């Protein structure tokens, strides 16, 4: 440091002459350090430290006695009203904290105090720094393996989603509640932009207008843009689709718009087929026109189903699945299953399940619970818990119970809706498989089919809870499926409306701070009551 002080100038550049002030200060510091190292200086410091310790030993007890005396005098002058006000205030504040903690836990599933302590206090204490980091190569490989083994919480388009104008809007008019969340509608807007737009839209004025319409948040602005697109091109299929979804207030009006969209979409689709091999842009346009055509035909089949023309709807769905077999990810077979159940064509339902209830294909609540319903149908009419406990279960009953356990393991939220232990709401436009949103969507359309089969709900009621004894730790280990994903609650709260109480699985234990604040509130309230009833006795207790 001396060399640095002497070699650097006053400006710190290292080229100028040494700074006289810095050199003299360094020399004085060196002299003080040498003097403090002498034996007599160390002895002087030890004597000073001993005197300071003696002063503390002799002086602090006296001050403590004075403080205790002052506290005793202060407590002796307090009246019962003060103790009553103190306990009431303490009970009120702890009660407010308890109510807020309970509300936060019910809404977000976590304790607010724990969340604040983990996110803000632990870094200050150093908890995040104490845990040793794992080796980079090992952790990366482990994360990659866990990503392959654990299914991600993917949000899917609801195959049976309702019409906004003819169904969701009517619900708003009657109840004044918004059935769709902003997150759900935003996902739908992204779907529409993916399905109904392509890079060549800029070449056609009507498609350019519709490209902007799908991005609009205001429904009236979208409808106005659709009419502008029709003024530019009377055969704009996507404009008719938007009007059918959002402007039509009845299913009959929606079907009329979809028929116009089908007529226009078939013309555009044939043109795209003839020139799709000319360039990549034409291939993208063909994919877009295919998406529009499939969407329109599917919605027309759903209109026929809602209007009671079920056989016509089944034929349209079968034809659509034959014409576009590669679009199985749209889950048109779930629409077909529901229509066949309405026709009570159980043999046809079994044939559809034999094709789609395969180990290599993704599962859904509709697949698992429909398979359970068919097996329950064979035994539910004669099933009795008392008789079964005496003679045991037959082979058909065992198969039905195993099918119910399989369905409940896949989605444990569905039975509460089928057994009407929880109230239903309108299903969202997107669902999370194995989550509460999928359970709401399935039960909304399939509850009537379970009620139609005599004894099916009784069999479900007697057997569904046995699934949880087979999987005591569902987040760690599954039985027939992957372990239950832990992210479903967060996604379902984004998809379902706020007035719906989201079903949580597995049930979370109440956080420690809810118990603590509840106990503190109760204890303070009890003290306040005792102080009000027995003031003199409580004053003696406080002084003691």
DSSP state at residue 329? G
In a domain, 120, yes or no: no
- Closest C-alpha to 247, from 268, 271, 263, 230: 230
- What percent of the chain stands above pLDDT 90? 40
Q: Has residue 107 been placed in a domain?
A: no
220 lies in the same domain as 247: yes
Same domain, 206 and 313: yes
| DSSP 8-state secondary structure symbol assigned to residue 109 | S
Higher pLDDT, 71 or 354: 354
Of 107-116, 512-521, 523-532, the least confident: 107-116
Do the Cβ atoms of 260 and 240 come closer than 8 Å?
Answer: yes
- Assess if residue 319 is contained within a domain: yes
Q: What secondary structure letter does DSSP report for 431?
A: E
Last residue of a domain, which of 312, 329, 346? 329
Tens digit of each residue's pLDDT (9 = 90 or more) over 422-438: 999 999 999 999 999 99
Q: Which tokens in the block code for residue 333?
A: 């077979």
Q: Is residue 67 part of a domain?
A: no
Same domain for 305 and 417? no
Nearest to 83 by CA among 527, 508, 457: 527
Q: Is residue 110 part of a domain?
A: no
Q: Which stretch, 24-33, 125-134, 165-174, has highest mean pLDDT? A: 165-174
The answer to whether residue 273 is domain-embedded is yes
In a domain? residue 10: no
Contact 502, 493 (CB under 8 A): yes
What are the backbone angles phi and psi of residue 278, rounded to the nearest 5°?
Answer: -75, -35
| One domain for residues 209 and 321 | yes
Residues 204 and 324 in one domain: yes
The pLDDT of residue 150: 41
* 188 neighbors 430 (Cβ within 8 angstroms): yes
Q: What is the mean pLDDT of the chain?
A: 80
Please check whether residue 428 is in contact with residue 180, taking contact to mean a CB–CB distance below 8 angstroms. yes
Q: Could you report the per-residue pLDDT of 350-363, keeping only the tens digit for each?
A: 999 998 887 777 88
pTM of the full structure: 0.68
- CATH assignment at residue 219: 1.25.40
Are 468 and 537 part of one and the same domain? no
Are 313 and 380 within one domain? no
User: 436 with 516, same domain?
Assistant: no
pLDDT for residue 316 is more than 90: yes
pLDDT digits (tens, 9 = 90+) for 248-262: 999 999 999 999 999
Count of domains observed in the chain? 3
Give the distance from CA 327 to its chain's centroid. Answer: 28
Shared domain for 197 and 321, answered yes or no, is yes
58-72, 300-314, 376-390: least confident range: 58-72
Q: Give yes or no: residues 379 and 450 share one domain.
A: yes
Mean pLDDT, to the nearest integer, of 299-327?
A: 92
What tokens were used for 60? 């602090």
Residue 16 predicted with pLDDT over 70: no
**25 within domain boundaries:** no
Domain that holds residue 265: 181-329
Same domain, 460 and 517: no
Q: Which residues pair with 156 in a beta bridge?
A: 431
Least confident of 108-117, 191-200, 231-240: 108-117
Q: 480 and 529, same structural domain?
A: no
207 or 505, which is more confident?
A: 207
């Amino acid at each position: 440091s001396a060399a640095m002080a002497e070699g650097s100038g006053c400006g710190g550049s290292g080229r100028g002459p040494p700074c006289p002030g810095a050199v003299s200060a360094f020399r004085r510091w060196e002299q003080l350090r040498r003097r403090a190292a002498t034996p007599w200086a160390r002895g002087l410091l030890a004597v000073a430290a001993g005197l300071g310790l003696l002063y503390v030993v002799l002086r602090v007890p006296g001050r403590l006695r004075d403080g205790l005396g002052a506290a005793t005098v202060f407590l002796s002058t307090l009246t019962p009203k003060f103790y009553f006000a103190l306990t009431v205030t303490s009970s009120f504040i702890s009660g407010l904290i308890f109510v807020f903690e309970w509300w936060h836990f019910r809404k977000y599933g976590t304790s607010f105090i724990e969340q604040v302590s983990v996110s803000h206090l632990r870094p200050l204490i150093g908890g995040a720094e104490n845990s040793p980091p794992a080796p980079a190569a090992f952790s990366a490989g482990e994360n990659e393996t866990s990503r392959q083994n654990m299914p991600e919480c993917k949000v899917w388009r609801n195959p049976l989603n309702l019409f906004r104008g003819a169904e969701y809007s009517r619900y708003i008019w009657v109840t004044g509640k918004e059935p769709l969340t902003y997150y759900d509608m935003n996902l739908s807007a992204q779907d529409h932009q993916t399905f109904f737009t392509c890079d060549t839209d800029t070449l056609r004025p009507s498609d350019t207008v519709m490209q902007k319409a799908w991005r609009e948040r205001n429904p009236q602005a979208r409808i106005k843009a659709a009419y502008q697109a029709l003024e530019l091109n009377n055969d704009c299929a996507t404009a008719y689709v938007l009007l059918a979804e959002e402007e039509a207030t009845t299913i009959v009006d929606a079907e009329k718009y979809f028929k116009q969209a089908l007529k226009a979409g078939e013309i555009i689709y044939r043109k795209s087929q003839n020139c799709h091999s000319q360039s990549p842009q034409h291939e993208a346009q063909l994919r877009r026109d295919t998406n529009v055509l499939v969407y329109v035909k599917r919605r027309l089949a759903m209109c026929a189903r809602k209007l009671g023309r079920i056989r016509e709807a089944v034929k349209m769905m079968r034809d659509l699945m034959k014409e576009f077999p590669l679009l199985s990810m749209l889950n048109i077979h779930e629409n077909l299953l529901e229509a066949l159940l309405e026709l009570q064509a159980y043999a046809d339902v079994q044939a559809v399940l034999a094709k789609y209830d395969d180990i290599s294909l993704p599962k859904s609540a509709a697949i698992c619970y429909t398979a359970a319903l068919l097996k329950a149908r064979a035994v539910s009419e004669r099933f009795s818990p008392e008789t079964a406990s005496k003679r045991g279960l037959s082979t058909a009953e065992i198969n039905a119970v195993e099918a119910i356990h399989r369905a409940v393991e896949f989605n444990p939220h569905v039975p509460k809706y089928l057994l009407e232990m929880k109230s239903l709401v309108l299903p969202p436009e997107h669902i999370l498989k194995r989550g509460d949103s999928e359970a709401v969507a399935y039960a909304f359309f399939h509850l009537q089919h379970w009620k139609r089969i005599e004894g099916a709900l009784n069999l479900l009621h007697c057997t569904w809870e046995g699934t949880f004894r087979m999987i005591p730790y569902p987040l760690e280990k599954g039985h027939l499926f992957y372990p239950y994903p832990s992210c479903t609650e967060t996604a379902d709260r984004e998809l379902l409306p706020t007035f719906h109480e989201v079903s949580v699985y597995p049930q979370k234990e109440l956080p420690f701070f809810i118990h603590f604040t509840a106990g503190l509130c109760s204890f303070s309230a009890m003290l306040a009551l005792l102080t009000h009833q027995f003031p003199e006795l409580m004053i003696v207790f406080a002084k003691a």
